[in-house]
């Protein structure tokens, strides 16, 4: 995983965990990697992963079963979607709109590119 300097590492790891859930690689109600497993996989300090997991617990995206491990919440996908949409609308969209305006582009110009992107990466045009 390539980390960016513009955001705290634990939040970038939270985005990674959320993406795994949205892609259905980590299913609702199933055990997710332990703190140590994910730390080794991402080559980060276990304390950083623990901070991520504590943050995701506060957001009710994951939960801990003492002695067993961490699990994706039953409604994790819905919670992740709401969380990611909020972040996108508040942080990413204003910069995106600014770029569109400055470049003299409109949304209609982007529709075919977005459809091609979905087809290429997800095999879907929905």
Pick the closest to residue 22 from 69, 103, 76, 67 (CA basis): 76
55, 120 Cβ separation under 8 angstroms: no
Q: Report the interhelical angle of 46-58 vs 35-42 (nearest 10°).
A: 120
pLDDT of residue 87: 87
Structural domain spans, the chain: 1-126
1-126 under CATH 1.10.10.10, yes or no: yes
Mean pLDDT of the chain: 93
Note the pLDDT tens digit of each residue in 19-64.
999 999 999 999 999 999 999 999 999 999 999 999 999 999 999 9
């Amino acid at each position: 995983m390539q980390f960016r300097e513009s955001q705290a590492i634990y939040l970038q790891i939270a985005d990674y965990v959320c993406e795994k859930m949205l892609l259905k690689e980590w299913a609702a109600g199933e055990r997710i990697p332990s703190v140590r497993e994910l730390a080794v996989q991402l080559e980060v300090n276990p304390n950083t992963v623990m901070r991520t997991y504590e943050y995701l617990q506060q957001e009710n995206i994951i939960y801990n079963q003492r002695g067993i491990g961490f699990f994706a919440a039953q409604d994790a996908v819905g919670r992740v979607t709401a969380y990611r949409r909020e972040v996108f609308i508040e942080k990413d969209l204003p910069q995106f709109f600014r770029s569109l305006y400055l470049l003299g582009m409109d949304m209609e110009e982007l529709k075919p590119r977005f459809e091609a992107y979905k087809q290429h990466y997800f095999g879907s045009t929905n």
